[in-house]
Structure 1
Amino acid sequence: MRLLVIEDERDLCEDIAKKLRLSGYEADTCFDGEEALELLAVERYDLVLLDLNLPKVDGMTVLRTLREHDQETGVLILSARSEISDKVDGLDAGANDYLSKPFHLEELEARVRSLTRRRFVQQDVCLRCGGLTFDTRSRTATADGQTLSLTRKESGILEYLLLNRGRPISQEELIEHVWDSSVDSFSNSIRVHISMLRKKLRAALGYDPIRNKIGQGYEIGADE
């Protein structure tokens, strides 16, 4: 899952991004509304964490501008404005959730989990496919009850494929949602990570649940 943290307090912004990365997410950061609008115009994110008191362009303007052309990307407002009227204004402008400062990073992470599951109409914290299970809270995968030792990238690939079970996912889409903005889209990194993930799944399950759809991408399914 790829997230964008927009927060002008740099230490807080980096702390949030670090926490999210440790939890298995890819997180980009920016510190003003102008840069945020530039990023949102060219990049795709699964969730945006948005402060309202931003320099150059305020957060409400960023939100309203985003919603003019994008109704799907989730937005979680993070703001010191804690009045009911502020929350109502933010939600009415198109935010999906509102978290008042100060907040605990554990609560923030729970809100992120909830919003990213909702993005894919996923209500359960556990994703399943045959004997394969991925717990989105603990970021752990099991195959027939056996815990798998996966890297962060392998976990991200597996989670995204499970969330989109039933449709092929292209390499380009995986890069957009599982890698941060520093990735070279022409590298073979994605193929290496998928190859290693498939090898681990095959060893644990006795078969490879990830199938290549020629010209379409990768699709996960139970053993047929």
Structure 2
Amino acid sequence: MRVMVVEDDAGVRDGVVAVLRAAGFAVDTAPDLPAADEALWVNSYDCVVFDRMLPSGDSLRYVGHRRAQGWQVPVLFLTARDSEADRLAGLRQGGDDYLVKPFAAAELVARVRSLCRRVRQDRPSVLRCADLELDAARHHVTRAGVVLTLTRKELLVLERLMTTVGRPVSHRELFAYGWDEMADPELNVLAQTVRGLRRKLRDPPLIHTVRGIGYAITPPR
């Protein structure tokens, strides 16, 4: 799950990022609204965490404007503005949740995870390809009834592939889904992750390389 954190205070930003990455999220950051806007037009996110008062203005107005354009990514306002009027304004302008600073790390993770799940509500609760099953909510994977132990990155790559069984997913899309902007695609971590997945899934092979594009998962012939 990929999250954007928009926060101008470097100390707060680093703390939020550390908490979310420790919980397994891929996290990108922006210090102001122009930088956030550029990233949000280019990348896909499961949730965006906005500080309210930024050097470039109140993020509440930005969210309200984007909502009017049909933007639907879940938003959590993370702010020191704690009055009832502020909370209501945040929700009226398109915020999905509102968390006041200072906050408990566990509560932040729980709220972000809940918002990310909203993006995935239209997917089946369990993804299947032949005898392979993945329950993303429970992080539970089996093949032919045998439970498989996957790393977090292997699980994310497998989940993305299994949402489009039979169709290729590009290297770029897989990398964007499982890693954040701080990762270096030149390190070949995606290929290493796919190799580990193939080994754990065993034969007959399900994940296939699509030359010049990326990978696809398809049932055995």
TM-score bracket, shorter-length normalisation: 0.7 to 0.9
Deviation at 1:6, TM superposition (A): 1.2
Alignment of 1:50-199 (within 5 A): 50-69=50-69, 71-121=71-121, 127-129=126-128, 130=131, 132-134=133-135, 136=137, 141=141, 144=145, 146-150=147-151, 152-162=152-162, 164=163, 166=165, 168=167, 169-183=169-183, 188-199=188-199
Aligned equivalents of 1:31, 1:148: Cα separation in 2: 37
The structural deviation recorded for 1:63 is 1.5
Computed over aligned residues only, the root mean square deviation of the Cα atoms, in angstroms, reads 3.2
SS of 1:11 mapped into structure 2: helix
State how many pairs are aligned.
Answer: 217
Indicate how the Cα distance of structure 1 residues 93 and 172 shifts in structure 2: closer, same or farther if over 3 A, else same.
same
Q: Secondary structure at the match of 1:78?
A: strand
Kept in 2: contact 1:32–1:54 (CA 8 A) = yes
**Normalising by structure 1, what TM-score?**
0.77
Provide the TM-score with structure 2 as the length reference.
0.77
The alignment partner of 1:19 has SS state of helix
1:43-54 map, 5 Å: 43-54=43-54
Is the Cα contact below 8 Å between 2:2 and 2:180 reproduced in 1? yes
Query: What percent identity do the matched residue pairs reach?
Result: 34
Gaps of 5+ in 2: none
Deviation at 1:5, TM superposition (A): 0.9
What is the CA deviation profile of residues 5-59 of structure 1, one whole-angstrom value per residue up to 9, with x for unaligned ones?
1123322221221121122211112233333223323333221111102222321
Cα offset, 1:4, TM superposition: 0.9
Amino acid across the alignment from 1:34: P
Is the CA contact 1:2–1:47 (under 8 Å) kept in the aligned structure 2?
yes
